[in-house]
Structure 1
Amino acid sequence: MPSQTGGLLAGTADLSVDGTTYMVTGDFKYKPGNKKRETLGGMDRIHGFKETPSAPYIAFNLRDWGGLTVADINNWTDVTCVAKLANGKTVIGSAMWTVEEQEVDSTEAKFDVRLEGTDNSVTEVPTS
């Protein structure tokens, strides 16, 4: 149960990668977990579950602008991503790399970025 209610909880994110600030247009998502569980059911009952590794990630949309070279983002490896969210939480991704290619929507001047990393590469620093 939250200790405080009311106030700003969602809607904004300030993002930097390796110290450079970028314009986030939306869809900021992150997953700090590093395992995926699936239920194993048989014809008679549920037998248990299996667990497989899953890459932690940080994903977002960025705004394209004249001073940005989108191709450089595709070359990101071993980067540190820091996001400050509306609720005061800070999300940090360490030693991350881009996956998927960046495809720019020139109507809105935006594109998707997804960073993935190894176990425990995404951490959350809650508000105090």
Structure 2
Amino acid sequence: MSAIAGTLSITIDGTNYAVAGSGTYLVSSTNRETLKGQDGVHGYKEMPNEGHIAWTGRDSNAFKIADLNAADGVTVVAVLANGKVIIAKNAWRDGEPAKVNTEDGTFDILFSSASVKEQ
């Protein structure tokens, strides 16, 4: 039986980053919202939705957190234990800037993109 979960590796523009904790991903897709009126359900609207790759990383002297926080137009690749490869092209660091917990050297970071796909 093959592994279906457990390991994660992350690269950004070909550079490996240590993964200290769990990661998540969302492939690019659409959001759907039901449209209804006083006379019933009319249907739904559909809007594009960005995808993301996020993880808890480990700080080191091999890179600067400021560079991660400023990242824009990068390619983020996540390789999962089950063999899936998740690719975010032309991604940007999204949300709050990464802040490092100095007790264990961890930080949370999120990269979003209009193009996040599974391979």
Give the TM-score, by structure 2 length. Answer: 0.89
Alignment of 1:122 with 2:116, yes or no, is yes
What does the per-residue CA deviation read over 1:56-82, in whole Å, with 9 as the maximum and x for residues that have no partner?
A: 111111101233310110111111111
CA distance in 1, matches of 2:103, 2:40: 52
CA distance in 1, matches of 2:28, 2:116: 8
CA distance in 2, matches of 1:55, 1:65: 29
Q: Give the secondary structure class of the aligned counterpart of 1:71.
A: helix
CA distance in 1, matches of 2:23, 2:35: 32
CA distance in 1, matches of 2:39, 2:22: 42
CA distance in 1, matches of 2:48, 2:29: 6
CA distance in 2, matches of 1:71, 1:91: 24
- 1:33 Cα deviation from its structure 2 partner: 2.5
Give the TM-score, by structure 1 length. Answer: 0.83
Stretches of structure 2 that go unaligned for 5 or more consecutive residues are none
RMSD: 1.5
1:107 paired residue number? 103
CA distance in 2, matches of 1:124, 1:77: 21
Q: Give the secondary structure class of the aligned counterpart of 1:10.
A: coil
Contact 2:53/2:78 (<8 A) preserved: no
What amino acid is the match of 2:11? Answer: S
Stretches of structure 1 that go unaligned for 5 or more consecutive residues are 1-5
What amino acid is the match of 1:45? Answer: G
CA distance in 2, matches of 1:107, 1:56: 31
